[in-house]
Amino acid sequence: MKYMLTLFNDPTGWEDRTPEEMAAGMRAWDDYTRELRESGAFIAGEGLGPAETATTVRLTNEHVVKDGPYAETKEQLGGFYLIDVDDLDSALEWAHKIPMPGGAVEVRAVMDYEAAGSEEHAAQEAAS
């Protein structure tokens, strides 16, 4: 079953970190990602640029495009991992290992398009 682990944290203070602290933090992320890949659960994952680089498209009768993040919040979406594991408990185990003290990880099941009746997604899965 596929799960999306979305990573939320407070980006304030990042500019105060020394290069050594930044490198140590990246090593922890590299270790986590390596472990996830070696387990076979890794599908995809990326860090995201700062919220100031976001552009939001509000889907209404007339589409509205706005610079900046969707919501005002202290914690910002910073990245994600897409994983394929047996069940929610396994996804939660991976979420607990994320090296992000003080942040939050939202664990959400990826939609089963075939079960929802999508012919396009079912055909794409069959072709893979």
Query: Considering only CA atoms, which of 23, 76, 28 is closest in space to residue 49?
Result: 76
pLDDT in tens, 79-100: 999 999 999 999 999 999 999 8
End-to-end CA distance of the chain: 16
> What pLDDT, in 10s, does the model give residues 23-68?
999 999 999 999 999 999 999 999 998 888 888 777 777 766 665 5
Q: Which residues, in sequence order, are bridge partners of residue 44?
A: 82
CATH of the domain at 19: 3.30.70.1060
Domain that holds residue 87: 2-127
Domain count, the chain: 1
In angstroms, rounded to a whole number, what is the distance separating the alpha carbons of residues 100 and 77? 12
Cα angle value 34/38/39 (rounded, 5°):
120
pTM of the model: 0.80
For residue 127, count other CB atoms closer than 10 A to its CB. 6
